[in-house]
Structure 1
Amino acid sequence: MHDIDPEEVGRLARALTETDAIIEEMDARTAASGFPTVGPAVGGWLRLLARGVDARRGFEFGSGFGYSAYWLADAFPPDGELVLTEVDADELADAREYLRRGGYADRCRFEHGDALETVEQYDGPFDVVLIDNEKERYPEAFAAVREKVAPGGVVLVDNAVTAGTLDFEAILAHVEGAGDAADAASRGVAELLVTLREAPAFETALLPLGEGVAVARRR
């Protein structure tokens, strides 16, 4: 395994993942614009994890144009509820249109505004939570939702390894107790990972695909 290129493993993961025409359209948009998404390899895992907990209610901290939500929504029943949050009105409108075309809009709520403010309007419990907002605010996002996660539910943390200017070495050192991440974004990710590891109510593991997804299940 040490001689296998991780990018080739990612290609295999993508090849095993069922997609549709709308996902392919969103992937083409990502390739053309550089807008960050989790990609199909991770998207397939999001969908599978949501199915694994029989998700009926979910909340996203940061939804962009609806890429992650599209994968998650496929696992929700028609009477389920997945809350999307986005500060950019145009991106949220695009998310609504993609999910409408995919037949999933009936199980989604589209909230324009700050995710940390929006989550206060919802009592939970949530079976699935995706944290993918500003990295320096990751600890705040988890603090706002941790008591709203259903027993057996999962918190999914994107960019647990890398994204943009995140410093992986600093994140690793922080988590291992060998130093503090200097920049706010890296420190936010690292602090949340430590919090999840030390939280008795959660069991956490790392999914090393895409830019890294920490998966924390509430006991």
Structure 2
Amino acid sequence: MDVLSDPAERFLAATAPAHTETQAAMTELADDWGFPIIGPEAGAVLRLLARLTDARRVFEFGSGFGYSATWFLRGGAEAVICTEFDEDEAERGVRFAADGGYADSVTFEVGDAMETVERYDGPFDVVLIDHQKGRYAEAYRTVLPKVRTGGVIVADNVTRGPIDLGDLVAHFEDGVPLPDPEVDEETRGIGEYVGTVRSDDAVETAVLPVGNGIAVSTKVA
């Protein structure tokens, strides 16, 4: 089904905040490259979370050229650490930051995000997980000790993207096993992530049906 054929999705799109000039340019590039970005509907939630947590430091697992980082900055975040395995995408992000006037607020780290996070001490106020789906749960377990109490961890693509939502529904409704990782690593990874955060008393989690679906977990202990 075309997302924008659904009235609720059309309403969310119509009421989402307008892009800045830089974000509009990023969206055009994403369309040209066929590169997935979270979009303004989910971006508005990132902006809100940064505002509500009075965010100073944000860490991202998977940043592309920094589109999601701009939403955290619009919410008042002071510093965003962006990670990207693709050097060309990271370099494009650096140029966007320079052109947009926020270069002093973002740091682009090229390489494996799981290795990068080990080099940073907490506390983080907000974390975005948006890299390889099969590594979401690992990223969560690694970064949780570095998130302050009251901080938030957001995971993207929990209802759409390179996943089979039907398999996830069957798993959480009826206990059907998740797909074998050799068959569908992405769906299994999202299922393992959602199962992990739902069963962890250290966080409270809600799945929000905006963009490609985001799981928002607040650290309470």
TM-score, normalised relative to structure 1: 0.91
Helix, strand or coil at the partner of 1:153: strand
1:173 matches 2:175: no
Distance 1:109 1:32 in 2: 25
- Structure 1 residue 177, shift from structure 2 partner: 5.0
- Structure 1 residue 205, shift from structure 2 partner: 0.6
Count the aligned residue pairs: 212
**RMSD value over aligned CA atoms?**
1.6
Unaligned runs of at least 5 residues, structure 2: none
1:192-211 to structure 2, matched below 5 A, reads: 192-211=193-212
Counterpart in 2 of 1:92? 90
- Structure 1 residue 178, shift from structure 2 partner: 1.7
Distance 1:4 1:34 in 2: 23
- Structure 1 runs (4+) deviating above 6 angstroms are none
Name the amino acid aligned to 1:201.
A
Distance 2:84 2:153 in 1: 18
Question: Does the aligned pair in 1 maintain the 2:155–2:216 contact within 8 Å?
Answer: yes
1:139 matches 2:140: no
Deviations 1:108-157 (A, max 9, x none): 11111000010011121100000000001111111110111111110010
Deviations 1:137-188 (A, max 9, x none): 1111111101111111100100011113x11011222233521221211111
- Structure 1 residue 24, shift from structure 2 partner: 1.1
Distance 1:25 1:122 in 2: 30
Question: Does the aligned pair in 1 maintain the 2:46–2:75 contact within 8 Å?
Answer: no
1:21 matches 2:21: yes
Q: Percent identity over the alignment?
A: 44
- Structure 1 residue 33, shift from structure 2 partner: 2.6
Distance 2:196 2:136 in 1: 11
Distance 1:177 1:95 in 2: 43
Name the amino acid aligned to 1:9.
F
Question: Does the aligned pair in 2 maintain the 1:124–1:149 contact within 8 Å?
Answer: yes
Name the amino acid aligned to 1:10.
L
Unaligned runs of at least 5 residues, structure 1: none
Distance 2:46 2:133 in 1: 19
Distance 1:104 1:173 in 2: 44
Counterpart in 1 of 2:66? 66
Counterpart in 2 of 1:51? 51
Helix, strand or coil at the partner of 2:18: coil
- Structure 1 residue 7, shift from structure 2 partner: 3.0
Distance 2:79 2:6 in 1: 40
Name the amino acid aligned to 1:60.
E
